Chains A and B, each alone.
Chain A
Amino acid sequence: AQSVTQLDSQVPVFEEAPVELRCNYSSSVSVYLFWYVQYPNQGLQLLLKYLSGSTLVKGINGFEAEFNKSQTSFHLRKPSVHISDTAEYFCAVSRGYGGATNKLIFGTGTLLAVQP
């Protein structure tokens, strides 16, 4: 079974500083990996996804993530954050092949708090 660990429940950062949100996964098979963002009182929106190919994935709003198979990680980064990036960020994993539906499992989330 797949699982996801987001070790940081909250990450405070100043505006225009870089940020990294950590995500580690556990799986015995190939995986698809996702980062979602949730703004207050809203649903989840996809930031980026890794399915296959290049290990560096670029998403919306200037975010990127790197898939590292040996370290089973998929950390999210942004070189310069804005106040508007304040939100909760979720990492998610599913098995990496089609056919029957695979469970989509989420981590516990990281609250990114951008301060002026």
Chain B
Amino acid sequence: NAGVTQTPKFQVLKTGQSMTLQCAQDMNHNSMYWYRQDPGMGLRLIYYSASEGTTDKGEVPNGYNVSRLNKREFSLRLESAAPSQTSVYFCASRDRANTEAFFGQGTRLTVV
């Protein structure tokens, strides 16, 4: 039972570099989310996707783009990384009833 899988687990980027964080779920969930977690700030929603082909901004979307490639996969892209984007990123998915969300193990990103 894989659940929600995120890759990579760790990444160090230089300022200005780009990268894509990958997320895949095998629970046939419609909804997927990207959060960032910073000390003292909890989890803040970056983007979410209600279903394949739709995406919406969350609380902190600036500097990020997302793609809902298909029902299973939801990627997060940093086009030009900044030190302020140093964080732990979590992907989550949720079923149509919008009840419990399942989380991946996180990606720890450092931008130097």
Across the interface, name the chain B residue whose C-beta is closest to A49: B100
Question: Which of B14-22, B78-86, B102-110 is near enough to bind chain A?
Answer: B102-110
Contact A106 B43 (CB under 8 A): yes
Q: Mark A99-113, 1 if CB is under 8 A from B, else 0.
A: 011111111110000
B94 contacts partner chain A, Cβ-Cβ < 8 Å: yes
Contact B58 A103 (CB under 8 A): yes
> For window 86-104 of chain B, which residues contact chain A by CB distance below 8 Å?
90, 92, 94, 96-101, 103-104
Known: A44-B90, A106-B43. A94 touches B103 (CB 8 A): no
Given the interface pairs A43-B105, A104-B45, A106-B35, the reply to whether A49 lies near B99 with Cβ below 8 Å is: yes
A-B contact count (CB 8 A): 66
| Count of chain B residues with a beta carbon within 8 Å of a chain A beta carbon | 30
Tell whether B24 is near chain A: CB-to-CB under 8 Å.
no
**Contact code string B41-80 (vs A, CB < 8 Å = 1, else 0):** 1111100111100001011000000000000000000000
Hey, which chain A residues are within 8 Å of B90, CB to CB? 43-44
**How many angstroms from the CA of A94 to the CA of B101 in the assembled complex?**
11
Q: Cβ of B42 and Cβ of A32 under 8 Å apart?
A: no
Does A7 reach chain B (CB closer than 8 Å)? no
User: Would you call A90 and B42 a contact (CB within 8 A)?
Assistant: yes
Looking at A36, A103, A104, A106, the one whose CB has the most chain B CB atoms below 10 A away is A104
Given A101-B94, A108-B40; 16 other pairs, CB 8 A cutoff: A6-B42, A32-B99, A43-B90, A43-B103, A44-B90, A45-B103, A46-B101, A49-B99, A49-B100, A51-B99, A97-B98, A101-B49, A104-B45, A104-B101, A108-B41, A109-B42
Residues of B in contact with A (beta carbons under 8 Å apart): 30-31, 33, 35, 40-45, 48-51, 56, 58-59, 90, 92, 94, 96-101, 103-106
* Chain A residues within CB distance 8 Å of chain B: 6, 9, 32, 34, 36, 42-46, 49, 51, 90, 92, 94-95, 97-98, 100-109
